Amino acid sequence: MIVQAKEACQKPLVVTLSDLTFPKLQQAMRDGGVNPVHALAVFQRHHLGVEKKTSAAVEEWLAQQEIIEPVQSRCTESSDGWTRKYLLKLADDREIESVLMGYSRRHTGCLSTQVGCAMGCVFCATGQMGFRRHLTTGEIVAQVHFLNARLKERGEEPLRNLVMMGMGEPLHNFDATISALDILTDTKGLKIAPSRVSISTVGHVPGILKLAEVEKSYGLSVSLHGATDEERGALIPVNKRWPLDVLLDACRAYSEKKSQRVIIAWTLIDGVNDSDDHARRLAHLLKGMNVHLNLIPLNPTDGYGQGTPTDERVQAFQTTFRDLSGLPATVRQRRGIDVGAGCGQLAS
């Protein structure tokens, strides 16, 4: 379990168990000379806090293992009380942000997968800080342990939903992200339903195609933000590597393979991509695809000077797109904007 530090400067505890899927835990126990018949008890103790009797040999083996867990450096709470943002320090003193979002009778955790991000989206605070390193499987899993511990302190139920929408590009850190989700959705442990997990990508085409081949079906959210390569490339530099036609073909492949809709994320930026003409071109581009448009009014960051469109402009864009495409379009509920916990605002 993750222990909250009493001091922001306290040195992080050193864990490896969070890195291990259940089959890998069984193998690690075999390699350590202990009977893997106790693997379920170890797995549930680590992920659920359920104490089950094991052998003396297993306890001795466990005592020798290291555990890498983040330490809370800071917590900021939104004015409405529904959102909390945590700055977490890792073992190498790098820092990430994780977000706990409350809804009626449920909570969602927004997890980071990297320290910084290499994708360079101009309106995103994480992209503005650049890429530092990938998170390990255990560092991703440990964020859920941490958030669940905070919920338990308040007498709340554990996380029900996960969004891989924090710092970093999840599909750039593909193996660690999928390994972490294998652990978090394992029915022997935390058993978060794969259908309640959403992976957000800036449009990492190789990652989308690999994700389509993963056994479990997770929700996929793809950032578009421009209906032409020129417009999108000005906001998302990786569009030069994976242009719109290639990206949309990958979305079609994912949707067909998984038999589910892909969420198309569109950050509305005042005077940049929020006009009725933009809505018409986007409707033409996506018409006939199995997608759902999620509109996100721009959240302000220090490194990007453009503004957020008015509510009336957002509604006009939504109506124009829906009328011309026949596709569903919703406006994302804004949470934690006042404490920099919204989409595109996380940084360290």
State how far the Cα of 17 lies from the Cα of 42, in Å rounded to an integer: 9
251 annotated active-site: no
95, 97, 139, 169: the active-site residue? 97
Q: How far apart are CA 84 and CA 15, in angstroms?
A: 25
Q: Please choose, from the candidates 179, 100, 173, the residue with its C-alpha nearest in 3D space to the C-alpha of residue 141.
A: 179
Question: Which residue in the list 110, 117, 121, 343 is annotated as catalytic?
Answer: 343
Give dist(CA 159, CA 109) in Å, integer.
Answer: 7
Angle CA(78)–CA(201)–CA(283) in degrees, nearest 5? 95
**Rounded to whole angstroms, how far apart are CA atoms 50 and 47?**
8
Active site residue 97: yes
Give which of 171, 221, 173 is closest to 197, Cα–Cα.
221
Instruction: Give a three-class secondary structure readout of the chain.
Output: CCCCCCCCCCCCCCCEHHHCCHHHHHHHHHHCCCCHHHHHHHHHHHHHCCCCCCCHHHHHHHHCCCECCCEEEEEEECCCCCEEEEEEECCCCCEEEEEEEEECCEEEEECCCEEECCCCCCCCHHHHHCEEEECCHHHHHHHHHHHHHHHHHCCCCCCCEEEECCCCCHHHHHHHHHHHHHHHCCCCCCCCCHHHEEEEECCCHHHHHHHHCCCCCCEEEEECCCCCHHHHHHHCHHHHCCCHHHHHHHHHHHHHHHCCCEEEEEEECCCCCCCHHHHHHHHHHHCCCCEEEEEEECCCECCECCCCCCHHHHHHHHHHHHHHHCCCEEECCCCCHHHCCCCCCCCC
Catalytic residues: 97, 343
